């Protein structure tokens, strides 16, 4: 029998506790699959005396995770603290210096420092596993890095934030406002007390930066991700989307274009009939377009204690079995500089909702602004009539360039009869 | 630079030619990803002089694939000949004896000899890759063996045969008969001249035997798979399915039950609203229920030159990178004997279509047969009326035991007013 793989776990929140449970309950199975045992030897968390539903008595305790990464009796350090910098990054770097592998669920750290950390791991002859950082229980990192390794990837996209997807799903089903549904999601534990990382699209953007690096062999460039969240999506937009044959989803999209790599996270109108439109609630879905495999789709739970623990475990199994691939698919030194395809040059169709004073001439003014930017209208809907209140006008355009669209919207937003900033949602052809 | 991975390819049909093209067009990409080149050194096929759209001039030619497996200048032999026995098996065994890896797309060979071949590979210190054997371009083997390795798998199921899925999709959309749609599919190249392996469910059963072995850690037992194909599905059944809120799909299902492992391939009625019901045409879909990851779903092209070549390439990348996992997830010697859960003890709901003479008393006789076997009716439809022709009667049952259902059907089939053998389709709750 081979010696066990000794593991030290930093961070005992939801996922950390889930991992402790998984390694206990699957011990025999994992031993059969790896030819050796997977054994936690040490743990570290902020509060030693916090009540937890897992038994930590068999593990060495460290108050300082960085110290644990340096000196625990462990080959692999699992980082579940989170945050782009701070102790998470410090312990990861310390582990590499000591020649220890790191497995992490930390997309923020990877989005900001992924290429540097991969280089450090490589230099130390160890590896950095991060299956848990993207799309929870879905083994999408492995699919991209190994399963689709024969493909040039053209596009990787999907629903990467379960909180947003849950909120949009409930908003659509209930007609309630973003604020009401968010408050409810917070009560149920589906949204954080501070929801901004999720609802502003930042979490999805972190994950996208990781996926694009992996898919395109480019060094991650988080600043280059164009990000918009779901705060401005109104029940009205969800209703109009339905009427126009669309669903609204927060998508993260990484794509090769002739100009470079496009990375964007924003609400999208997508055809209601396609499978992605039916991925609802807390589920995640990732679609990959490869030049040989074609389009493949991966769906599952994007977060939660057990799915995320499952992903961490898969990285530990790889370590135990001696399975090693380059962290982001190619050696860190060969990650190309990401050439950014500017959003201003993005081409697509647009959904626009205006709240206007119901008076003659408004549509003429709006149409003129679009015409002057050569934005061609596809449809226009003006349903309500009111002498006193703002009424919605909904437009969809034919394909146009983003910069032109934004110039037109700027002018439209300054029209005297347009009473709120225009709401713009990109229509995505998938 | 590491020395190249030298590859010999046996079989130059659709997939073999696809692989030659893939390795040529992705050469730089693969070299970056593997840190070494992937180079074909030798090929073997039946007819050296057949016109092919790939250039073979750089490769050594072998008339005998077994001889090539033994003596070609290659570390890895790719087996794309097919067939459970014959040259495919002989060359695989010969390669192992010579300490060479084998990558295969051959589900028939694996379904019949998988455990033995895995043991031989292990004994020789080499590996047997077979990502291409199941679900084409979808990296489902890697997902099960590595990505979900932290999970006890409860069920693996899906649409594993694109030909059947295509035929059922077109039958539903066009109302045409099985025979007509099959003939059309043959013309288009979506079905083989001898379609029996596909339409009788054997191909899906081969793939299921591989997936169950991988999912449950059991030695494959192809004889234990309960198999029925789609020849008896009529346009009438597809229409009734729609009326009852179902779609008909040929599913392959592997499941743990308290009695053992259930393996079955047959047409199923599944709820029209679930994502699996919308996987149409030549697409495959695999769903996996893991105890930690929950349900994950994998969709993509299940066959075809390029998707299958993509899967072969992923195994070659693993070899080039030195990535090794046990062939079926655990060492061959630890594959458990598969305890079969007998189909007679299967519990489920059933759809039954009878063609009857329209006369008083038929329903009473049918009902009595069901009552005597304690099969409880959920619904009954009798639409048409005719003095001269058989009319359909459609029944659905509540959950019952298969053996009782079959006994009741036997008795019903012998009723004088029942003019054709009853058509029975299992209703699957997913």
Write out pLDDT tens, residues A289-326: 999 999 999 999 999 999 999 999 999 999 999 999 99
Cα(A331)–Cα(A119) distance, integer angstroms:
8
Cα(A306)–Cα(A127) distance, integer angstroms:
23
pLDDT at B123: 97
pLDDT at B233: 96
Q: Is the pLDDT of residue B387 over 90?
A: no
Dump strand ranges (E) for B283-389: 283-290, 294-301, 347-356, 377-382
Average pLDDT over residues B374-389: 89
Q: Which CATH superfamily is domain B5-133 in?
A: NAD(P)-binding Rossmann-like Domain (3.40.50.720)
8-state DSSP, A147? I
Averaged confidence pLDDT in chain B: 96
pLDDT at A29: 98
**pLDDT digit string, tens, across residues A172-224:** 999 999 999 999 999 998 899 999 999 999 999 999 999 999 999 999 999 99
Hey, where are the domains in chain A? Answer: 5-133, 144-302, 344-427
pLDDT at A189: 86
B331 touching chain A per CB within 8 A: yes
Cα(A190)–Cα(A170) distance, integer angstroms:
12
Contact A267, A125 (CB under 8 A): no
Query: Is B207 among the catalytic positions?
Result: yes
* Residues 6+ away with beta carbon under 8 Å from B210: B107, B110, B111, B114, B130, B133, B134, B141, B220
**pLDDT digit string, tens, across residues B207-262:** 999 999 999 999 999 999 999 999 999 999 999 999 999 999 999 999 999 999 99
Q: Is the pLDDT of residue B1 over 80?
A: no
pLDDT at B308: 97
Choose the catalytic residue: B207, B249, B334, B387.
B207
Considering only CB atoms, B142 lies closest to which of A142, A321, A322, namely A142
How close, in Å, is residue A397 to chain B by CA atoms?
29
Question: How many Cβ atoms sit within 10 Å of the Cβ of residue B28?
Answer: 10
B13 touching chain A per CB within 8 A: no
Biggest CA pair distance of chain A: 84
Q: Is there a contact between B321 and A318 if contact means CB atoms under 8 Å apart?
A: no
Question: How many Cβ atoms sit within 10 Å of the Cβ of residue B229?
Answer: 24
pLDDT at A190: 87
pLDDT at B274: 87
pLDDT at B430: 84
A314 touching chain B per CB within 8 A: yes
CATH class of A144-302: alpha beta
Considering only CB atoms, A139 lies closest to which of B22, B148, B275, namely B148
Shared fold status for B140-302 and B344-427: no
* Residues 6+ away with beta carbon under 8 Å from A339: A259, A260, A261
Cα(B226)–Cα(A368) distance, integer angstroms:
68
How close, in Å, is residue B324 to chain A by CA atoms?
6
pTM as predicted? 0.96
ipTM above threshold 0.90: yes
Query: Is residue A315 classed as helix, strand or coil in its secondary structure?
Result: helix
Residue A33, sorted as left (phi over 0), alpha (psi -120 to 50) or beta, turns out to be alpha
Q: Would you say domain A344-427 falls under CATH 3.30.70.260?
A: yes
Average pLDDT over residues A360-367: 92
Task: Write out the H or E segment, with its range, that includes residue A290.
Answer: strand A283-290
Nearest to B43 by CA among B10, B17, B86, B90: B10
Contact B210, B199 (CB under 8 A): no
Nearest to A338 by CA among A260, A257, A254, A265: A260
Contact A89, A109 (CB under 8 A): yes
Q: Is the pLDDT of residue B273 over 90?
A: no
Question: How many Cβ atoms sit within 10 Å of the Cβ of residue B374?
Answer: 10
The owner of tokens 């003659």 is: A360
Cα(B73)–Cα(B90) distance, integer angstroms:
18
pLDDT at B341: 96
Average pLDDT over residues B159-187: 96
Torsion of CA A329, A331, A334, A339, to 10 degrees: 40
Q: Is the pLDDT of residue A13 over 90?
A: yes
pLDDT at A388: 86
Query: Is residue B67 classed as helix, strand or coil in its secondary structure?
Result: helix
**pLDDT digit string, tens, across residues B56-82:** 999 999 999 999 999 999 999 999 999
Average pLDDT over residues A36-54: 95
Query: What architecture (CATH level 2) is domain B140-302?
Result: 2-Layer Sandwich (3.30)
Query: Is residue A71 classed as helix, strand or coil in its secondary structure?
Result: helix
Choose the catalytic residue: A70, A207, A334, A389.
A207
Question: How many Cα atoms occupy the beta-carbon half-sphere of B370 within 13 Å?
Answer: 21
Question: How many Cα atoms occupy the beta-carbon half-sphere of A189 within 13 Å?
Answer: 4
Torsion of CA B182, B184, B185, B191, to 10 degrees: 60
User: Between chain A and chain B, how many beta carbons pairs sit less than 8 Å apart?
Assistant: 204
Sorting pLDDT into bands at 50, 70 and 90, what band is A30?
very high
Sorting pLDDT into bands at 50, 70 and 90, what band is A70?
very high
pLDDT at A274: 87
**pLDDT digit string, tens, across residues A233-273:** 999 999 999 999 999 999 999 999 999 999 999 999 999 98
Averaged confidence pLDDT in chain A: 96
Sorting pLDDT into bands at 50, 70 and 90, what band is A153?
very high
Interface of A with B in 196-225 (CB under 8 A): 217
Average pLDDT over residues B171-190: 95
Sorting pLDDT into bands at 50, 70 and 90, what band is B270?
very high
pLDDT at B385: 83
């Amino acid at each position: 029998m081979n010696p066990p793989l000794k593991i030290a776990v930093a961070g005992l929140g939801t996922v950390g506790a889930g991992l402790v449970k998984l390694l206990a309950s699957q011990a025999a199975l994992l031993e059969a699959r790896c030819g050796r045992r997977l054994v936690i030897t040490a743990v570290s968390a902020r509060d030693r005396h916090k009540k937890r539903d897992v038994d930590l008595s068999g593990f060495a305790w460290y108050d300082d995770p960085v110290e644990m990464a340096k000196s625990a009796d462990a080959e692999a350090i699992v980082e579940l603290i989170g945050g782009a910098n701070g102790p998470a990054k410090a312990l990861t770097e310390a582990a590499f210096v000591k020649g220890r592998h790191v497995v992490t669920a930390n997309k923020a750290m990877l989005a900001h420092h992924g290429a540097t950390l991969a280089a450090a791991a490589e230099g130390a002859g160890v590896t950095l596993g991060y299956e848990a950082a993207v799309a929870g229980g879905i083994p999408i990192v492995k699919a991209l890095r190994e399963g689709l390794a024969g493909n040039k990837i053209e596009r990787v996209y999907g629903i990467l934030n379960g909180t947003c997807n849950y909120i949009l799903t409930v908003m659509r089903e209930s007609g309630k406002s973003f604020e009401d549904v968010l408050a409810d999601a917070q009560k149920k534990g589906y949204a954080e007390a501070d929801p901004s990382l999720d609802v502003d699209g930042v979490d999805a953007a972190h994950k996208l930066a990781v996926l694009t690096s992996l898919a395109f062999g480019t060094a991650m460039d988080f600043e280059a991700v164009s990000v918009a969240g779901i705060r401005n999506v109104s029940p009205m937009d969800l209703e109009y989307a339905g009427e126009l044959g669309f669903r609204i989803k927060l998508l993260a999209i990484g794509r090769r274009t002739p100009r470079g790599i496009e990375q964007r996270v924003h609400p999208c109108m997508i055809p209601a009939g396609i499978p992605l439109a039916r991925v609802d609630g807390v589920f995640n879905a990732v679609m990959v377009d490869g030049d040989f495999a074609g389009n493949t789709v991966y769906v599952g739970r994007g977060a939660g204690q057990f799915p995320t623990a499952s992903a961490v475990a898969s990285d530990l199994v790889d370590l135990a079995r001696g399975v090693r691939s380059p962290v982001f698919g190619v050696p860190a030194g060969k990650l190309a500089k990401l050439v950014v395809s500017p959003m201003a040059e993005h081409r697509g169709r647009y959904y626009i909702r205006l709240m206007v004073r119901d008076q003659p001439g408004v549509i003429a003014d709006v149409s003129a602004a679009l015409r002057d930017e050569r934005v061609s209208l596809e449809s226009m809907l003006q349903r309500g009539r009111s002498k006193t209140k703002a009424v919605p006008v909904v437009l969809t355009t034919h394909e146009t360039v983003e910069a032109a669209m934004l110039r037109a919207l700027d002018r439209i937003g300054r029209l005297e009869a347009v009473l709120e900033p225009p709401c713009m949602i990109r229509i995505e052809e998938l």
